[in-house]
Amino acid sequence: MTKIGIIIGSTRPGRNGEAVAKWVLELASQRTDAEFELVDLLDYKLPHLDEAIPASMAQYQQPHTLAWAEKIASFDGYIIVTPEYNHSTSGALKNAIDFLFAEWNNKAVGFVGYGSVGGARAVESLRLIVGELMMADVRAAVTLSLATDFVNYSQFTPGAHQAGALATVLDQTVAWSKALEPVRNPVA
């Protein structure tokens, strides 16, 4: 069964990302074409990148890196839930991505952004990053506005149309994750 990790891309106290990610998981869990799991950056306590050897060398030394690598390697694709801070993603998410290399390769990724303009600029920033990691980013994205999909910018109440947008992101991410399986696991 195809496994998709739903990554909460914020560690900020009072973050909106947890509610958004739980909504993604709730709707995704109704599907039968893949298994979905929530991955919370808070659970991994990753410091600012502290590996002496570049991630592309796959010579991780730190226990937190090894645990993070094992979790990320266990998935066929990802849905990244990202806030938008200063026209980009969160530093915590960028840091977590930078810890690894091969574990991300040849996997699909879809995005759910939130912010003043729906997190669109954070998603665009992430598209550049994941390309370097040999990931296939899907075209569709969910963009949640703090003004219309949250009450008082903090209580998540997505518009009804957002479920359809998420279904499209999930459809594309699962399809691409399955399509890339022969690239991840070539037959000898």
Span 89-126, pLDDT tens digits: 999 999 999 999 999 999 999 999 999 999 999 999 99
Rounded to the nearest angstrom, the gap between the alpha carbon of residue 159 and the centroid of all alpha carbons in its chain is 21
Please, which residues have CB within 8 angstroms of residue 159's CB and are 6 or more apart in sequence? 148, 149
Enter the DSSP assignment of 123. Answer: H
118-155 pLDDT, tens digit per residue, is 999 999 999 999 999 999 999 999 999 999 999 999 99
The rounded percent of the chain whose pLDDT value lies above 90 is: 98
Q: For domain 3-184, give the CATH number.
A: 3.40.50.360
- 171 touches 164 (CB < 8 A): no
Report the DSSP pairing between strands 136-145 and 108-115.
Answer: parallel
pLDDT at res. 188 = 64
Give the H or E element holding residue 3: strand 3-8
Closest CA to 184 of 128, 132, 108, 111: 108
* Residue 187 pLDDT > 90: no
18-64 pLDDT, tens digit per residue, is 999 999 999 999 999 999 999 999 999 999 999 999 999 999 999 99
Domain boundaries, the chain: 3-184
Closest CA to 7 of 74, 59, 58: 74
Q: Per the structure block, which two tokens stand in for 179?
A: 């399509």
